[in-house]
Amino acid sequence: MNPDRPPFGACGLRKVAMARLALVMIVRDEARCIARCIESVRPHVDTMIVLDTGSVDDTIAIAERCGAEVHRFTWCDDFSVARNAALDHSDADWNLVLDADDWLAGGFEALGPETLPPASVSPARFVGCVSIVNQGVGEGGAARRFVPRVLPRGVRYAGRVHEQPVSALPQQPIGVELHHDGYAEDQLARKDGRNEALLRAELADHPGDAYLWHQLGRELLVRGRSAEAADPLLQACRLAAPGAVFRHSAVVSALRALKQADRLPEALALADEEQVRWSGSPDFYFAVADVYLECASREPARAMDDFLPVVEGAWKRCIDIGEQPALEGSVPGCGSWLAAGNLAMLYRTLGIDDEADEYELLAGTMRKAA
């Protein structure tokens, strides 16, 4: 129960009032982590709703011990249907939608009534986006995502997988930070094949949906299937509107996939085409440096004249830009200690020890400050 919400009226009787903020989850076999998720959120919400889709472990018992209201649901291979069934159990003004492998890590104050007022005080004017830092392997490590997870009452989802809320309200970042460990290797193995199958089924119905192509490409990339990921990611880049939030992630991921798939000419062409759009992205220049470094390793005769100067310049550009956590898919360190550390290794390899020492020191300082 939210301690800021008074439980008693002036006459001493408990008020029967609609919850201002509810935690709403769908889960299955999440005994490993569900308590962590619920306990991270419990001080900041008025009620907690868990919809179980068929657990055979201790998920339900743990959720109930943590104070959640648990309901059962028969899984039907459609995340939006399950999400909406869970939301149907909430009467709250706002719903915070989490997965069991998420946990609240920061921005707690943004869940208060100043940001999310009761409907009786002010009608909802936005769908709230939270920052998610993915802990685990793939896509360069702890990539940041911005996803709509704070929904006004009445907003519902569409889409079999990587479902999205359907609302005419604008999506607005509110400063909440979640961490997520669903991309750890053991968790990826547990869900192997499920999301890919659902994404391909959804794309069969919506082949022009850039977001679905992006998600399919990411799914394949984090599973080490770069050769298969490249074309879906390129398709996402082609189809996405210039201002689409996920387009930055699609471009950077496409560069990574093309490099890993040994499609270097296409990676170079994409980098040239997109450079004008991402002059403020350290992640873009970090990916460009990786592509040119791979070119240098493949054509040593051209390395010093054609490729390594671009690598050096791209990593320096990363540091000049600095960290840009508001960019979808950004990886902490690309605008600071990761780029500085790579410059140190480059200079050390080339025998330029004074520059190597300088950037090693800078990388350490930046890492401590992160």
Looking at residue 229, its pLDDT comes to: 97
Identify the pLDDT of residue 136: 60
CA 39/CA 29 separation, integer angstroms: 18
Q: What is the distance between the alpha carbons of residues 360 and 348, in angstroms, rounded to a whole number?
A: 10
**Confidence (pLDDT) at 222:** 86
Please state, in angstroms and rounded to a whole number, the distance separating the CA atoms of residues 13 and 133: 43
Q: How many CB atoms are closer than 10 A to CB 122?
A: 11
Q: Which pTM was predicted?
A: 0.81
Q: What is the pLDDT of residue 187?
A: 63
Q: What is the 3-state secondary structure (H, E, C) of 172-223?
A: EEEEEEEEEEEECHHHHHHCCCHHHHHHHHHHHHCCCCHHHHHHHHHHHHHC
Reading phi first (left if > 0) and then psi (alpha if -120 to 50, else beta), residue 107 is in left
User: What span, in angstroms and rounded, lies between the C-alpha atoms of 336 and 318?
Assistant: 7
pLDDT value of position 226: 94
Two tokens, residue 296? 């240098």
Alpha helices in 33-131 (DSSP H): 34-41, 59-65, 79-87
**What pLDDT, on a 0 to 100 scale, did the predictor assign at position 193?**
74
Report residues of the chain scoring pLDDT below 70. 1-18, 136-142, 183-192
Structure tokens at 340: 């500085």
Report pLDDT for 18.
67
**What's the pLDDT at 182?**
75
**Does residue 136 come out as left (phi exceeding 0), alpha (psi in the -120 to 50 range) or beta?**
left
171, two tokens:
């999506």
- Of the candidates 129, 229, 224, which has an alpha carbon nearest to the alpha carbon of residue 175? 129
